[in-house]
């Protein structure tokens, strides 16, 4: 039970034994595969327009039907996985890095640094996130890169608060006092002692954050201010679904299912990591 190795393997064992979390992980792996090897899952080109076969219902040659330009929906859903994966990871990467930075500074140094940074966090939280994202996008061009950056820049406040709280409690522990007594500097204490101990809650927040970022991206793309056609994204396929809502249910059903399953996967994995990292919280 002592030492980080055994707690690490305990953690992995608890995580794998949690069937829901394992299922979530499997879903995520599956969508990773889709993004890496789209050709294996669909023989059609995602952007190949075929005006003879417009809005065909699902059939043997087009298992998920075709859209209003005759493009294969399965191919578009498969290639769309890349977009959501990219957005999820880059946006959360930005948010986590920023949140870590602000949270560590705030928690470790306290005083006026903490006061200023936390008031800034409070203020950012006053803006409805979706409003803020839309406003910034209106100033920029809608593109996948801008979307990722904007979702990241508007999503770090939760992580910052979390890291700050963890840092506050960790820096009062005996092992930090011991390190200080041995003459360790601020950098060493932060990176050797505080940071590693905040990793579990950050991992949970990041996993759930990927789910949130995917949902936000799909909503933005659906509204036409996210990923721009012809690049397929689950959200912008659904725009076509809305435009043809009276004739083509398959255009609305399948991309949405893909979003639902992916987001569910990340949420289940995130909850699983939380339970495995701190079994006392299980079932809450």
User: In the complex, which residues of this chain contact other proteins (CB under 8 A)?
Assistant: 119-120, 122-123, 125-132, 134-139, 211, 215, 218-219, 222-225, 238, 241-242, 245-246, 249, 252-253, 255-256, 259-261, 263-264, 267-268, 283-284
Q: Rounded to the nearest whole angstrom, what is the least distance from the CB of residue 7 to other proteins in the complex?
A: 26
Looking at the Cβ atoms of 122 and 178, the one nearer to other proteins is: 122
- Cβ at position 91, least distance to other proteins in Å: 16
CA distance 197 to 206: 15
Comparing CB distances to other proteins, the nearer of 1 and 139 is 139
Give min distance, CB of 255 to other proteins, in A.
8
CB nearer other proteins, residue 128 or residue 279: 128
Q: Which is nearer to other proteins, 175 or 247 (CB)?
A: 247
> What is the b/e burial string over 146-165, where b = at least 16 CB atoms within 10 angstroms of the residue's CB?
bbbbbbbbbbbbbbbbbbbe
- Which of 257, 213, 207, 232 shows the shortest CA–CA distance to 35? 232
Give dist(CA 71, CA 241) in Å, integer: 13
The helix (H) or strand (E) run that includes residue 53 is none
Contact between 215 and 263 (Cβ < 8 Å):
yes
CA distance linking residue 106 with residue 170, whole number of Å: 13
- Shortest Cβ distance from residue 270 to other proteins (Å)? 10
Query: Which long-range contacts does 47-53 make (Cβ < 8 Å, 24+ apart)?
Result: 47/71, 47/230, 47/232, 48/72, 48/75
Nearest distance, CB of residue 208 and other proteins, angstroms: 9
User: CA 151, CA 171: separation in Å to the nearest integer?
Assistant: 31
**What's the min distance (Å) between Cβ of 201 and other proteins?**
17
CB of 5 to other proteins, least distance (A): 33
Tokens of 81: 């996985």
In angstroms, the Cα distances linking 26 to 76, 241, 266 are: 22, 28, 10
In the bound complex, what is the minimum distance in angstroms from residue 33's beta carbon to other proteins? 20
Burial-class residue 120 by CB neighbours within 10 Å (0-12, 13-18, 19+).
Answer: middle
Between 134 and 184, name the residue whose CB sits nearer to other proteins. 134
Alpha helices of the chain — where are they, by DSSP H?
4-17, 19-36, 38-41, 73-109, 111-126, 129-139, 144-153, 157-170, 174-181, 186-188, 195-222, 234-243, 249-277
Q: Indicate the residue among 230 and 243 with the shorter CB distance to other proteins.
A: 243
Nearer to other proteins (CB atom), residue 22 or residue 253 = 253
Based on CB atoms, which residue is closest to other proteins, 112 or 139?
Answer: 139
């Amino acid at each position: 039970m002592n030492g980080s190795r055994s707690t690490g393997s305990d953690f992995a064992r608890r995580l794998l034994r949690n069937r829901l979390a394992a299922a979530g992980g499997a879903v995520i792996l599956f969508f990773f595969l889709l993004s890496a090897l789209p050709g294996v899952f669909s023989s059609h080109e995602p952007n190949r327009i075929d005006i003879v076969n417009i809005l065909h219902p699902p059939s043997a040659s087009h298992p998920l039907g075709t859209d209003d330009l005759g493009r294969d929906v399965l191919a578009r859903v498969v290639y769309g996985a890349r977009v959501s994966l990219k957005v999820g990871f880059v946006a959360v990467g930005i948010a986590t890095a920023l949140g870590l930075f602000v949270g560590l500074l705030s928690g470790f140094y306290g005083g006026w640094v903490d006061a200023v940074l936390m008031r800034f966090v409070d203020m950012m939280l006053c803006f409805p996130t979706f409003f803020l994202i839309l406003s910034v996008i209106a100033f920029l061009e809608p593109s996948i890169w801008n979307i990722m950056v904007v979702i990241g820049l508007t999503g770090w406040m939760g992580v910052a608060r979390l890291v700050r709280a963890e840092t506050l409690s960790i820096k009062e522990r005996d092992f930090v006092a011991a390190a200080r007594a041995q003459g360790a500097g601020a950098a060493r204490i932060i990176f050797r002692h505080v940071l590693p101990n905040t990793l579990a809650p950050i991992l949970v927040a990041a996993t759930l954050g990927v789910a949130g970022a995917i949902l936000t991206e799909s909503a933005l793309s659906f509204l036409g201010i996210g990923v721009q056609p012809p690049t397929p994204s689950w959200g912008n396929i659904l725009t076509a679904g809305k435009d043809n809502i009276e004739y083509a249910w398959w255009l609305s059903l399948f991309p949405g299912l893909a979003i639902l399953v992916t987001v569910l996967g990340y949420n289940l994995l995130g909850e699983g990591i939380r339970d495995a990292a701190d079994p006392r919280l299980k079932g809450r």
